[in-house]
Amino acid sequence: MFRFSLLTTALALIGFTATAGPRPVAPPDSIGVEYRNNVMLIKHRVTPGETLYGVARRYKVPVEQIVEANAGQKGALVTGQIVLVPRNRVVLSRPATPAPAAAATTRSLPTDARGNRLYKVEPGVTLFAIARRFQTTPAELARLNGFPANYNVRVGETVIVAAGTGSAAGAARPTPAPVAAARPAPTARPERDEEAEREARETREREARERATRERARDSATTPPTSAVDETAAEKDRAPARASEIVRRVSESGLATAIQTDASDKYLALHKTAPVGTIMQVRNIMNGQSVYVRVIGPLPDTGENTNILVRLSKKAVQRLATPDQRFRVETSYVP
């Protein structure tokens, strides 16, 4: 009888010890884990009355990460729903490398003479979308292209998305030789607009005749020759007979850019001082290409035109064969 009592007591103590000992019991709302893109995701079962904010606070994870892990989960949670909760710790040793992919995308773009990577704007694309696509910022794109902060890109416009290596400090400025290899070599004489050239020639000749007439009238009224000496002096003071001797041309140099609102197929220009109707020669300093344009109005004296000498129609810019939005030119015209 005493043995039976001892055996019963021992069995009772063993059962109590096994029951009271700690056991690794998983939380009822966590049913496992899975891995995606080197990140561990905890499977959480939603309990009655639980919210997305409550799940984020329970696991100490930002709400935005939970929304992203669950394909844009928004609104109230449903009881029994499985929510994936990302852990901040990366569980695999292989690092994610998105930068090479972005670099490969940039390398596929065409370049200009300075090595800048160029992107041609497609319909529906904004400056912010371009920055996100090539992993940069709108402010950086505005700096590279000289845009204002609120600039809206247009379809077909060329935007610099990455600066070329030739623009770095201390690097030599690229010569125009590679550009000449990429496109047909310019002819010995720049191609010109025949109509504008003819009108410019007629204007010069007409002005020469008018000035010569005024000079002769003034000389005849004030200094009539009376002797051989007087005739020699009169011949010396006589107005030049050739137009090239009396025409005074105005030459300037500065920056040129396109007229953004231009939709014509003519060679036109806006200039700050040249009169309307003036026929002006514009030469691209970088490649020597020239074009004759007609001044159709004054260049507004606004902030965006502070450093601009002349604005040209898009066809005139195309004739000058430049990939840059702003480029240095020389202008020449008869006032």
Please tell me whether residues 72 and 105 are part of one structural domain: no
What CATH number should be reported for the domain holding residue 254?
A: 2.40.40.10
**Average pLDDT of the residues in 219-239:** 53
Q: Has residue 199 been placed in a domain?
A: yes
Integer Cα distance of 277 and 266 in angstroms: 14
Q: Has residue 12 been placed in a domain?
A: no
Rounded to 5 degrees, φ, ψ at 301 are -85, 70
**Of the ranges 62-71, 126-135, 216-225, 268-277, which one carries the lowest mean pLDDT score?**
216-225
User: Is a pLDDT exceeding 90 seen at residue 293?
Assistant: yes
Radius of gyration in angstroms for the set of CA atoms belonging to the chain, rounded to a whole number:
40
Domain final residue, candidates 90, 108, 125 = 90
Mean per-residue pLDDT of the chain = 75
pLDDT score for 191: 46
Most confident range (mean pLDDT) of 21-35, 75-89, 255-269, 278-292 is 278-292
Please tell me whether residues 80 and 102 are part of one structural domain: no
Q: Has residue 9 been placed in a domain?
A: no
The tens digit of pLDDT for each residue in 93-128 reads 444 444 445 555 777 889 888 888 899 999 988 888
Please tell me whether residues 208 and 289 are part of one structural domain: yes
What is each CA distance from 49 to 16, 76, 81, 167, 246, in whole angstroms? 37, 9, 12, 60, 95
Please tell me whether residues 66 and 154 are part of one structural domain: no
User: Is a pLDDT exceeding 60 seen at residue 308?
Assistant: yes
What is each CA distance from 135 to 103, 132, 258, 333, in whole angstroms? 9, 5, 29, 46
Contact 313, 293 (CB under 8 A): yes
Integer Cα distance of 331 and 281 in angstroms: 6
CA dihedral 287, 288, 289, 295 (to 10 degrees): 120
Q: Has residue 23 been placed in a domain?
A: no
pLDDT score for 247: 61
User: Is a pLDDT exceeding 70 seen at residue 314?
Assistant: yes
Integer Cα distance of 300 and 135 in angstroms: 36
What b-and-e string marks burial along 15-24, b requiring 16 or more CB atoms within 10 Å of the CB?
Answer: eeeeeeeeee
Domain final residue, candidates 90, 117, 142 = 90
Please tell me whether residues 167 and 288 are part of one structural domain: no
Integer Cα distance of 153 and 333 in angstroms: 33
Task: Using a pLDDT cut of 90, give the percent of the chain over it.
Answer: 20
pLDDT band at 74 (very low <50, low <70, confident <90, very high): low
Q: Has residue 5 been placed in a domain?
A: no
User: Is a pLDDT exceeding 50 seen at residue 316?
Assistant: yes
Task: Using a pLDDT cut of 70, give the percent of the chain over it.
Answer: 68
pLDDT score for 88: 59
The tens digit of pLDDT for each residue in 188-208 reads 444 455 777 788 888 888 888
**Of the ranges 60-64, 181-185, 288-292, 297-301, which one carries the lowest mean pLDDT score?**
181-185
pLDDT score for 242: 54
pLDDT band at 229 (very low <50, low <70, confident <90, very high): very low
Q: Tokens representing 166?
A: 């030739």
> What's the number of domains the chain is made of?
3
Residue 285's domain comprises 194-212+242-333
3-state secondary structure of 48: coil
Integer Cα distance of 175 and 295 in angstroms: 32
Nearest to 51 by CA among 76, 85, 80, 83: 76
**Average pLDDT of the residues in 1-27:** 47
DSSP state of 300: P
**Average pLDDT of the residues in 234-238:** 50
Q: Has residue 313 been placed in a domain?
A: yes
Q: Tokens representing 60?
A: 């100490």
More confident residue, 261 or 166: 261
pLDDT score for 1: 46
What b-and-e string marks burial along 73-101, b requiring 16 or more CB atoms within 10 Å of the CB?
Answer: eeeebeeeeebbbbbeeeeeeeeeeeeee
Please tell me whether residues 201 and 325 are part of one structural domain: yes
What CATH number should be reported for the domain holding residue 125?
A: 3.10.350
DSSP state of 111: B
pLDDT score for 36: 79
Q: Has residue 266 been placed in a domain?
A: yes
Helical H runs in 238-296? Answer: 243-246
**Of the ranges 2-11, 192-201, 204-213, which one carries the lowest mean pLDDT score?**
2-11
Segments of the chain assigned E as strands = 30-36, 39-45, 82-90, 117-120, 158-162, 250-258, 268-271, 279-284, 290-298, 308-312, 327-333
Q: Has residue 222 been placed in a domain?
A: no
Please tell me whether residues 85 and 104 are part of one structural domain: no
| C-beta atoms surrounding 52 within 10 Å | 18
pLDDT score for 179: 38
What is each CA distance from 309 to 255, 270, 296, in whole angstroms? 5, 9, 15
Integer Cα distance of 70 and 181 in angstroms: 53
User: Is a pLDDT exceeding 90 seen at residue 65?
Assistant: no
pLDDT score for 327: 92
